[in-house]
Structure 1
Amino acid sequence: MITTALVGNPNVGKTTLFNALTGSNQYVGNWAGVTVEKKEGFLSDSIKIVDLPGIYAMDTFSNEEKISKKFIESEDVDLIINIVDASNLSRNLYLTTQLKQFNKPILLILNMCDVADKKGLRIDYKSLEDNLKVKVLPITATKSKGIDEVKKIILSEDFNFGIDNNNYSFSSEEKAYKFIDNIISKSVDSTNKVVSKSLTNTIDKVLLNPWLAYPMFLLVLFLMFKLTFSWIGQPLTDLLADTIDGPIKTFMEGILSISSPWFSSLIIEGIIAGVGSVISFIPLIFVLFFCISFLEDSGYMSRAAFIMDRFMRKIGLSGKAFIPFIVGFGCSVPAIMSSRTLESEKDRKMTALLAPLMSCNARLPVYATFAGAFFAGNDALVIISLYLLGIIMALIVGLIFKNTLFKKDEEPFIIELPEYKIPELKSISKLTWEKGKEFIKKAGTIIFAMSIIIWFLSHFSTIGYVEDVSYGFLANIGSIIAPIFAPLGFGQWQASVALLTGIVAKESVLATMGVIYGGDLTSILPQHFSTLSSYAFMVFVLLYTPCMAVIGAMKKEYGAKFALFSVTYQFVLAWIVSFLVFNIGGFVITLF
């Protein structure tokens, strides 16, 4: 078996090349820190490609650098594929000089040659090859240019590029860059280099302006949510919900008309009402993921991290920690796992504790249903307020942690701002599907199973099957825990058991209500909640104990005690904030 190690700086197209070589479905993003740990794929039965974390150097300061250096040193690596940004050779070749110290064959891939051309850089690839004494191959990965040549070289299994035994160990970083600049001066003609303002610089003049950056950030969020909840996502969701609650339900009622009452109830009130209340939000979820994928691929997400650095510093974290927070808008599990990319133990643990406060996609159906029932016409603004509240609470809790649990020095913030680009439809569609299919998978497994369990507990008691759910086991369980939530404005047993099942999966909150209440929740919920208590309920769903998958990820990464602390503090936080929202809101309403 031939092992090749794929190494490079963040944002040079390394994972894109890995996908092209292996045909795998690895995640591709446009900001630093996407590749958390090495990934493996196969170009052929005998050639393994190992995608190592994106790094700038082999100095072993960060987890990524330690993983990469240890792998190349300890594993039997036959070929190092070093992918670099052709438009920024000075920065990228510093890692190349360090890789040469391992005395292994190196294939130097110059990616983004189209960007270099637009900048007026003319690279003499043969001269660069001779001066660096490595095999050089130009490509443009996003357009699949040069990929076949890369495959051909690797598949030949002939890596006699020559191993340069000259000493590339420099006494200082300054001397290393002096060596690199000398090579670039011989191999790159920059006389035609474009010195006028690039499109990226022009856009950043607005998006990163000290006065405009934050309003623009909020505007981007607002447009994303309007697309999701007003213009595209919500209308499609309403159409699917009407189809499930109308023709599909009517059709199944006709088929089951001759079956026993309990079986008909299981299918109609259990599975269709429970699973249907969740899967009707598939269009909404996909539109939101499409928007997020667009922002990732365009290069804006790293700007968001840069913009938030100022606020993150207030809680003792760098802007880089905002990246797991952004990931957390999709799912808290990868957000916790991506906290590994942070340099210090303090940053990793603190980020893992705060990331679940970001509103994941599983909570979205709950918000959409309640906002549609109580805040029609303003539902997008209400949902934006919840997302922003999650960020604000993370900052407040982080500030408390900074001065209590994590009293350590702050880490420096280094993040690369990639060139803006127009995302390719194929790329963002693939990203959207990879994220969205997990929602579908969960609806078909966990939510399906939970709907059956919830129906059984609702419609059975010690005397057997009961039509009235208020006499079932679930009502008894809910009645016991309901007093805990009474001060928050939703002390009904139905809301209590919905929150309880939400610990299994947040989508279960809505699925449980679908089974218990039945029918159209938009019209039924106002009979059980007031406008104020509905918002307090959404706040509680936003902040309370994460689902079992998140708890498991927390335990795996940082231990059982750490996971238990996360579960406890989030429940207490959710209770306090919801209590304040309901009671202060009620006091304000009485004044007006």
Structure 2
Amino acid sequence: MREELQVGFVGNPNCGKTTLFNAYTGANLKVANWPGVTVEKKEGAFKYHDHKFKLVDLPGIYSLTSYTMEERLTREYILDSNVDVIVNVVDASSLERNLYLTLQLIELGKPIILALNMMDIVEERGMEIDLHRLPEMLGVPVIPVSARKKTGLDILMHTVSHHKDKGFDHNLEHHHANLSIKEIRHKHQHHNEYPVVYSDEIEDKIDEVSELLHSKYGNVNNLRWHAIKILELDQGILEKYPLKLTGVVDHSYESEIINQKYDFIEEIIEEVLVNKSKKSEATDRIDGILTHRYLGLPIFLGIMALIFLLTFQIGDFLKGGFEVALDAFSVTTLNFLVKINASDFVTSLIVDGIIAGVGGILTFLPNIFILFLALAYLEDSGYMARVAYVMDGIMGKLGLSGRAFIPMLLGFGCTVPAIMASRSLENMQDRRKTILVTPFMSCSARLPIYVLFSEMFFEDMAVVAAFSMYLIGIVVAIIVAYVMKDRKELNAGNTLLIELPEYKSPNVRTILIYAWEKVKEYLTKAGTTIFAASVVIWFVLNFGPSGMVSDMSQSFGAIIGKAIAPVLAPAGLGLWQIVVALISGVAAKEVVVSSFSVLFEINNITSPDGMTSLMGILGQYGFGALNAYSLMVFSLLYIPCVATIGVIQREMRSIKWTVFTVVFQLGVALLMSTLIYQIGSLFL
């Protein structure tokens, strides 16, 4: 036995694979990108009894067909590396969806163990899995585990250590009620040899291609798998093993092979999954409404509108306590600084710069928490997958896969992971267009801007005004994708293939953990990026060519703002203070609000008194509701934050494309806000 066993963890996204990996490795792991690409892999050391393991957490994939970067890299790793055992982590609550990848892995002929994760969810749904019948049909060990509860971990590694030299079990037990031995015309009894057996036509083709491969290249590892891939006209395999296929393979058999795999999956599900039918019927009834051809999109928009109503109503109720606490903290700090005879410089920096800037952002914490709580609820219930399905038709008309809407959905939370999620797209052209339009989705960082200005200028219609930003973001993204598409891409078959999971009651703990993680990110940003930006803004506004100034209009900030203000004047944003606030928002969009607090010297800008003061000051410059709406639209569409710009550069590996993206989005923002202001001025 080798001194160290190499174990690859493979599974669908969100199957609990990484949680299981972390349960073994703990802190003994390292994260690195694959050579030359931005897809991450994790490696960790683990010891079980006398065995040493090197665990590798591979990117989440749905298949081994090398369309996406993750699929390609995972396949190359499994084929070319010295992996001893593959642990296929499967979400037991979505067994039907996960088994397609399982069947592909089994066909590789390498030692594989099925780790059935999330068995607790199966029990919650009143279903059971026959753990004796499943390994009989698949020919591989099946181990129930719980990554979250850390159960079954020892038995899984025990199985790994004893299974490293085995492929699948040839003692397969299949039932084929409609297929007698006499009806099988194929020369081999493959039902006794392989878990997945195809039609006689395809099996004959597999034998022919296998013979061609063997005669030209000798003993090819995983001969059957390579033959199947050649039947699918897989470009990667054809380049590695070029063959003359004239008279043998006259077309791609990929669709037939996929369909027959799913036929076998249906057979497995019928035999091993008990009490599934009732749950499936309920899911089908709900989907009949939520994914309806005409009702699906309006229902989605209605749900998002309800989320924003809750975000405002509940968030604003809780925000009052934060405002009182901030005001008390500001007064206490000011009194303390006066008491210790702190200089005016230090007092102004701390009270007017740091507390006013960072504190003003923290008051929006309840709104942010409610928003992420609602989004986590939708995700955990299984609804978000339906949204991508509903949008598939629209995305197809734009020359994009419905899969492209998944990163766009993530953009409602944060643009950085949304841009990274574009890796799941099949080609660079799709990735480039998706990355270009995803920042138009309104991320949570923009929410404080909407809340502040919609409540100041639109009162009872504040929810409508804020929600319209999300609609405008979607519409602009769709228009841009349509304008930039290649006409050949129209209806070019970029269809989304997605297995819709059954609905489930969201797990309260999972939702709270997700929301808390987002709150921690928000607090971290407030303590770092926003803190630094607030300090920088204070310095820029309190120092000028002559040194420290008492009049901000003589500061460096005013000089910069006044130089750029004429460009934004047609959009109703010609005040130098607004220009400075928008520039500061490039650090983080929340900083726009904190900058207004510093610029207009209002300590608690989100309180009723603070908003009244700001509204009065802006009113003196003729800044009204139309200007405010134009500002919200500009904040929605203009240059993404520094973190997003950085991840665009990493994903695209092109400074030229990154610069183009920034300039393009700035141009779109200026165009849209100008149109809104100029057209609105004709009627108001």
* Fold shared per TM-score above 0.5: yes
Please state how far the C-alpha of 1:153 moved relative to its aligned partner.
2.9
Aligned pairs (5 A) from 1:390-401: 390-401=473-484
In 2, distance between residues paired with 1:269 and 1:393? 37
In 1, distance between residues paired with 2:647 and 2:104? 35
What residue number does 1:202 align with?
285
In 1, distance between residues paired with 2:579 and 2:385? 39
Please state how far the C-alpha of 1:156 moved relative to its aligned partner.
7.5
In 2, distance between residues paired with 1:91 and 1:510? 45
* Number of residue pairs matched by the alignment: 575
In 2, distance between residues paired with 1:350 and 1:406? 12
What residue number does 1:587 align with?
682
In 2, distance between residues paired with 1:514 and 1:68? 50
Q: Is the 8 A contact 1:332 1:355 kept in 2?
A: yes
Please state how far the C-alpha of 1:197 moved relative to its aligned partner.
5.7
Aligned-partner residue type, residue 544 of structure 1: Y
Q: Indicate which of 53, 61, 84 corresponds to 1:55.
A: 61
Q: CA RMSD in A?
A: 3.1
Please state how far the C-alpha of 1:366 moved relative to its aligned partner.
1.2
Can you give the 5+ residue segments of structure 1 that lack an aligned partner in the other structure? Answer: 27-34
Aligned-partner residue type, residue 552 of structure 1: G
In 2, distance between residues paired with 1:300 and 1:499? 35
Q: Indicate which of 335, 338, 342 corresponds to 1:254.
A: 335
Please state how far the C-alpha of 1:313 moved relative to its aligned partner.
1.9
Deviations 1:472-519 (A, max 9, x none): 221111111111111111211100111112122222212221111122
SS at match of 1:412: coil
What residue number does 1:451 align with?
534
What residue number does 1:524 align with?
613
Aligned-partner residue type, residue 53 of structure 1: P
What residue number does 1:153 align with?
156
Q: Does 1:73 align with 2:79?
A: yes
Bigger Rg, which one:
2
Please state how far the C-alpha of 1:288 moved relative to its aligned partner.
0.9
Q: Is the 8 A contact 1:110 1:138 kept in 2?
A: yes
Q: Indicate which of 538, 541, 546 corresponds to 2:640.
A: 546
Please state how far the C-alpha of 1:128 moved relative to its aligned partner.
3.5
Q: 1:47 to 1:289 in 2, by over 3 A?
A: farther
Q: Indicate which of 229, 233, 240 corresponds to 2:315.
A: 233
In 1, distance between residues paired with 2:345 and 2:269? 82
Please state how far the C-alpha of 1:459 moved relative to its aligned partner.
1.2
Aligned-partner residue type, residue 100 of structure 1: I
Q: Is the 8 A contact 1:536 1:582 kept in 2?
A: yes
Q: Indicate which of 159, 167, 179 corresponds to 1:164.
A: 167
In 2, distance between residues paired with 1:183 and 1:371? 52
SS at match of 1:329: coil
Aligned pairs (5 A) from 1:412-451: 412-451=495-534
Residue range with higher mean Cα deviation, 428-437 or 389-398? 428-437
Aligned-partner residue type, residue 249 of structure 1: S
Q: Indicate which of 294, 319, 324 corresponds to 1:242.
A: 324
In 2, distance between residues paired with 1:162 and 1:184? 29
In 2, distance between residues paired with 1:135 and 1:161? 12
In 2, distance between residues paired with 1:141 and 1:198? 29
Q: Is the 8 A contact 1:121 1:189 kept in 2?
A: no
SS at match of 1:377: helix
Q: 1:326 to 1:91 in 2, by over 3 A?
A: closer
Deviations 1:525-555 (A, max 9, x none): 3221211101101100100111121111111
Residue range with higher mean Cα deviation, 536-545 or 440-449? 440-449
Q: Is the 8 A contact 1:344 1:411 kept in 2?
A: no
What residue number does 1:315 align with?
398
TM-score between both structures, scaled by the size of structure 2:
0.77
Identical columns (%) = 42
TM-score between both structures, scaled by the size of structure 1:
0.88
SS at match of 2:87: strand
What residue number does 2:138 align with?
132
What residue number does 1:31 align with?
none
Q: 1:439 to 1:513 in 2, by over 3 A?
A: same
Residue range with higher mean Cα deviation, 296-305 or 516-525? 516-525
What residue number does 1:568 align with?
663
Q: 1:15 to 1:306 in 2, by over 3 A?
A: farther
Aligned pairs (5 A) from 1:15-414: 15-18=18-21, 20-22=23-25, 37-41=40-44, 46-86=52-92, 92-111=98-117, 123-139=129-145, 144=149, 147-154=150-157, 158-160=161-163, 163-164=166-167, 169=224, 171=228, 177=260, 181=264, 188=271, 194=277, 198-230=281-313, 232-244=314-326, 246-257=327-338, 258-403=341-486, 409-414=492-497
What residue number does 2:177 align with?
none
Which structure has more relative contact order (CA 8 Å, sep 6+)? It is 1
Aligned-partner residue type, residue 233 of structure 1: G
Q: Indicate which of 2, 6, 9 corresponds to 1:3.
A: 6
Deviations 1:445-490 (A, max 9, x none): 1111111111112112233322221222211111111111111112
Q: 1:43 to 1:422 in 2, by over 3 A?
A: farther
Q: Is the 8 A contact 1:87 1:112 kept in 2?
A: yes
SS at match of 1:188: helix
Q: 1:18 to 1:431 in 2, by over 3 A?
A: farther
Please state how far the C-alpha of 1:211 moved relative to its aligned partner.
3.2
Q: Is the 8 A contact 1:295 1:301 kept in 2?
A: yes
Q: Is the 8 A contact 1:343 1:411 kept in 2?
A: no
